[in-house]
């Protein structure tokens, strides 16, 4: 079935709620209103107010309630209306959810999900890519899908996981990206990368929106005789070390791309791991393409200048291949 990225995420949650009575949703305006992006439209009618819970505007309360429910055998899916505002529940998520399983040796099965990223003129308060914060916080799994089938499969796997998962949905992909999505049960295991384009000259290691930028860059460079491999890591934590190393061994050149800002972005971690474990196969330095170290501007021209894109990735690949 052809679905948008948004529809695939909703379908994954719906299938899990139909399968397992312990799965429920909680968030701001997700019931009667159907969510800020209409992802939960129809859920209230199908599952009722006890499983689709409209919460007050308090991310700390939403995440705290989800933690309590998870500790008591439920599997909550907590929505942040925009992932920027997860900062209001940061202590609950990082200090409580992320350490409780380790401290008490009990499962904390919960998903905190919501829209992230820029490129849609949503201003600095609704455009942040904050995945690196949670990759750094031990005890949390971090998921950043790029395609509808992965979005559904990774969502279902996240709901079934016994650890807290932070699930980033790029808002710019919600209705822009469509694809074939399996009906019913569809599980994509966490921690497995996906090579979405095979190539021999340079590997682009990326995730989320940057996957589509990398594919566009690869199509441009194909006309110039440069054969680009694109590896979508899909999950930051757990990280598929083997898939990245195998790609590096094959091409000998690497560009790491993500939409988040450059400094302390997860791309630095990927580059460091390549240096640690695959240095002997490199024929050129590892280069990164990321956003400038700036809040995301509201003005479209400035936003475009700050964020990465296919042209910037293509330019970096050319430089790496000519080294």
Long-range contact pairs involving 65-73 (C-beta distance under 8 Å, separation at least 24): 65/26, 66/26, 66/97, 66/110, 66/112, 67/92, 67/96, 67/97, 67/100, 67/108, 67/110, 67/164, 69/24, 69/110, 70/97, 70/107, 70/108, 70/109, 70/110, 70/164, 71/100, 71/106, 71/108, 73/22
Sheet containing strand 141-143, edge to edge, reads: 52-54, 23-27, 75-79, 111-116, 165-170, 141-143, 235-237
On whether the CB atoms of residues 269 and 238 are closer than 8 A, the answer is: no
Among 126, 170, 212, 258, which one carries the catalytic annotation?
A: 126
Establish whether 212 is a catalytic residue.
no
Helix axes 5-19, 148-160, angle to 10 degrees: 30
| 203/225 Cα distance (integer angstroms) | 15
**Can you read off the two tokens belonging to residue 260?**
């988040």
**Positions marked catalytic:** 126
């Amino acid at each position: 079935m052809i679905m948008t990225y948004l529809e695939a995420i909703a379908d994954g949650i719906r299938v899990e709620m139909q399968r397992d009575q312990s799965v429920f949703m909680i968030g701001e305006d997700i019931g009667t209103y159907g969510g800020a992006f209409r992802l939960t439209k129809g859920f209230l009618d199908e599952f009722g107010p006890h499983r689709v819970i409209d919460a007050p505007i308090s991310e700390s309360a939403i995440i705290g309630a989800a933690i309590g429910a998870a500790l008591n055998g439920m599997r909550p899916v907590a929505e942040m209306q925009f992932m920027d505002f997860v900062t209001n529940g940061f202590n609950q998520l990082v200090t409580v959810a992320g350490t409780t399983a380790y401290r008490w040796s009990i499962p904390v099965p919960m998903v905190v999900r919501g829209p992230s990223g820029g490129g849609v003129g949503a201003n600095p308060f609704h455009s942040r890519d904050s995945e690196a914060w949670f990759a750094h916080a031990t005890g949390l799994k971090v998921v950043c899908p790029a395609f509808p089938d992965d979005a559904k499969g990774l969502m279902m796997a996240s709901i079934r996981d016994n650890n807290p998962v932070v699930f980033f949905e790029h808002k710019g992909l919600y209705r822009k990206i469509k694809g074939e999505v399996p009906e019913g049960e569809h599980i994509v295991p966490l921690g497995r990368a996906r090579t979405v384009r095979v190539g021999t000259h340079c590997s682009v290691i990326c995730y989320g929106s940057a996957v589509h930028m990398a594919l566009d860059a690869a199509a441009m460079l194909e006309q110039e005789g440069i054969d680009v491999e694109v590896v979508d890591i899909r999950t930051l934590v757990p990280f598929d070390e083997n898939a990245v190393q195998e790609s590096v061994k094959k091409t000998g050149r690497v560009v790491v791309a993500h939409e988040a800002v450059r400094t302390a972005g997860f791309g630095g971690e990927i580059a460091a791991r390549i240096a640690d474990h695959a240095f002997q196969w490199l024929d050129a330095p590892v280069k990164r393409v990321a956003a400038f170290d700036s809040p995301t501007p509201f003005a479209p021209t400035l936003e475009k200048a700050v964020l990465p894109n296919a042209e910037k990735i293509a330019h970096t690949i050319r430089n790496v291949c000519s080294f």
